[in-house]
Amino acid sequence: MSGRTDVLIVGGGIVGAACAAACAQAGLTVALVEADLAVGMDATAAGMGQIVAMDGSPAELALTRYSQRLWDDLARSLPEDCEYERCGTLWIAADDDEMEEAARKATRYHEHALQAELLEQRDLYALEPALRPGLAGGLCVPGDSILYAPRAAAALLAEAERHGARALFGCRVRALHEGEVELDDGARMAARTVVLATGARAAELIPELPIRPRTGHLVITERYPALVRHQLVELGYVKSAHGTDADSVAFNLQPRPTGQLLIGSSRQYGRADPAVDRVIVARMLKRAIAYLPVLHGLDALRVWTGQRAATLDGLPYIGPCPGRAWLFVAAGHEGLGITAALATARLLSDHLLGRAPEIAPEPYSPARAWLETVVRA
């Protein structure tokens, strides 16, 4: 590779692939290096593949909303094997407290011009009759969608390659230097800008980034078409899944276009081991059965784990490193890597081309990592 590369992207997950596509489309010369043998093999493949508007904070909602719109635009040209489907999300309220939360959530979504419809108990069961009786109601967000993320990453990379980008697989980067990266075999690749998009592994190359792996478990079933029509998430999700450092589970289920059901979710810190933790799987499935009793008698095919890239404040790091203008970070998306990939890539290309971004980039700046590190010290 010659020294003329404008952008060198380290990491071939969906975020790296999206960055490659956005930069190559913008006319930049792009190279991507990935340690694994193919695109989208790590967290991209391990996750649920959802494109959801999330309102954990105003910045999260701005980012996910923006990215969702970009996906909607792209959806028409995605190959069929990406299995893009706008199934919508049903946030389930178990009781009156959660109904109030649903109403607050609806208001926040409406403020961002997002469609969201409060559901009375009767409406909820009309949409999803298999849910357990006695739930209070919910919130339907019809704009949310799902896709098969490894293929979407492959489609994005193919788009980048059509615009001249080059991808190298089986190459691990061991160090980042100004204007170049150093591969495991000692070879160096030069580039004007280096983009770090290695998700939960980002801290291996930039130790100052407080990104921690947060393990999740998923279970996939045999094919049971039309049993469930929407992505289902309990409103307790925010409380139980995001809040604390402790192990947690929450009910989250998707009907896949294959007719299979994908069941989550769990969050655990401090497990580097990819082995399945049977105890948390059991907790997760009990919770799923509590919401969708019919699951009890269905067959599970496979259980697996993946590592989310969690940050301290729940927002990804997107932007140049302080004092290292040549180094751009695009990592730390936790459970929203698929959702936010396109917005992340757009913020990168806007930055490189000096275009005005459509959303304020400051909340995602990696500078806060250094700030946080100082504060913690």
Binding site for another protein (CB under 8 A): 36-38, 40-41, 45, 150-151, 154, 169-170, 219, 221-222, 258, 263, 276, 278-279, 281-283, 285-286, 288-289, 295-304
Least CB distance from residue 332 to another protein, whole Å? 23
Q: Which is nearer to another protein, 188 or 296 (CB)?
A: 296
Q: Which is nearer to another protein, 40 or 366 (CB)?
A: 40
Least CB distance from residue 276 to another protein, whole Å? 5
Least CB distance from residue 13 to another protein, whole Å? 12
State whether residue 324 is helix, strand or coil: strand
Q: Which is nearer to another protein, 37 or 272 (CB)?
A: 37
CA 57, CA 68: separation in Å to the nearest integer? 16
Q: Cα-flanking dihedrals φ and ψ of residue 357, to 5°?
A: -75, 155
Q: Which of 334, 266, 259 is nearest to 87 (CA)?
A: 259
Q: Which is nearer to another protein, 217 or 368 (CB)?
A: 217
Least CB distance from residue 96 to another protein, whole Å? 28
36 close to 181: Cβ distance less than 8 angstroms: no
Angstrom distances, CA of residue 49 to CA of 69, 70, 126, 171, 218:
16, 15, 26, 26, 12
DSSP 368: H
Structure tokens at 43: 């967290």
Q: Which is nearer to another protein, 120 or 222 (CB)?
A: 222
Least CB distance from residue 370 to another protein, whole Å? 35
Q: Which is nearer to another protein, 23 or 249 (CB)?
A: 249
6 close to 163: Cβ distance less than 8 angstroms: no
Q: Which of 165, 215, 159 is nearest to 195 (CA)?
A: 165
How many other C-beta atoms are found inside a 10 Å radius of the C-beta of residue 347? Answer: 28
Least CB distance from residue 49 to another protein, whole Å? 12
Which residue has tokens 């302080």? 322
How many other C-beta atoms are found inside a 10 Å radius of the C-beta of residue 204? Answer: 15
Strands (E), 102-165: 117-119, 137-141, 145-146
**Separation of CA 288 from chain center:** 21
Q: Which of 369, 377, 374 is nearest to 320 (CA)?
A: 369
Q: Which is nearer to another protein, 269 or 304 (CB)?
A: 304
Least CB distance from residue 288 to another protein, whole Å? 8
Q: Which is nearer to another protein, 45 or 147 (CB)?
A: 45
Q: Which is nearer to another protein, 61 or 227 (CB)?
A: 227
Q: Which of 220, 43, 35, 19 is nearest to 149 (CA)?
A: 43
CA 268, CA 88: separation in Å to the nearest integer? 27
Least CB distance from residue 159 to another protein, whole Å? 16
> Quick one: angle between helices 58-75 and 337-353, nearest 10?
90
Least CB distance from residue 248 to another protein, whole Å? 15
